[in-house]
A and B are shown apart, each in its own frame.
Chain A
Amino acid sequence: DTAVSQTPKYLVTQMGNDKSIKCEQNLGHDTMYWYKQDSKKFLKIMFSYNNKELIINETVPNRFSPKSPDKAHLNLHINSLELGDSAVYFCASQQGEAGNTIYFGEGSWLTVV
């Protein structure tokens, strides 16, 4: 069973469209994240949620809206897609305290054309 699963794995879409990436974790963790990996492989945190509550929003444009319907899910919706949004988006989860292992999904490759 995949611990952190994301769908879709690949997404090609046109500029201006709205798209969503879904994430689910079956580890029973209370904290979930979205990370963005750019074309140079640099990983940067976008959002973190703890028990469905937004904790961190790292200067992400408000076209990006995370939604956590429950502790096991953290979806990412992106409005009005731009070319610069092309990246790999990773969902991750962690139990509780700082220092605990963060488990990553396999990534969602978004290409905006």
Chain B
Amino acid sequence: AQSVTQPDIHITVSEGASLELRCNYSYGATPYLFWYVQSPGQGLQLLLKYFSGDTLVQGIKGFEAEFKRSQSSFNLRKPSVHWSDAAEYFCAVGAGITGGGADGLTFGKGTHLIIQP
């Protein structure tokens, strides 16, 4: 079964500093990989996704992620964080339950990002 591991429950970063959030996945085939962000009291917004092609993916709000098959990783990065980036970040993999298009996503447990002034 597919699984996603986000090893860091909390990360604290100073405003203006660089950020890397880790994500490891377990999936037999080429995965569909996603990063979502959830601000307090809000729904989930897609930051970026990967399913083929260039392994470095650009997303919204200045985020990027790199797919590394050899490490089964899809880490999220941002060169300089802003206070508004404080949120919960979720890595997800296409669930592959039935192999069809209605399988949804399997999510990691999330990383809570705290921005220090």
Q: How far, in angstroms, from A101 to B105 measured CA to CA in the complex?
A: 10
Stretch at the interface among A11-19, A49-57, A75-83: A49-57
Residues of B within 8 A of A (CB): 32, 34, 36, 38, 42-46, 49, 51, 88, 90, 94-107, 109-110, 112
Q: Are B43 and A102 in contact (CB under 8 A)?
A: no
| Interface: A112 (CB within 8 A) | no
Q: Are A43 and B107 in contact (CB under 8 A)?
A: yes
Which B residues touch A99, using CB under 8 A? 32, 49, 51, 94
Q: How many residues of A contact B (CB 8 A)?
A: 30
Q: Are A40 and B97 in contact (CB under 8 A)?
A: no
23 A-B contacts (beta carbon < 8 Å): A33-B102, A33-B104, A41-B38, A43-B107, A43-B110, A44-B107, A45-B104, A45-B106, A49-B102, A50-B100, A50-B101, A55-B98, A56-B103, A90-B43, A98-B96, A98-B101, A99-B49, A101-B34, A102-B46, A104-B36, A104-B45, A106-B43, A107-B43
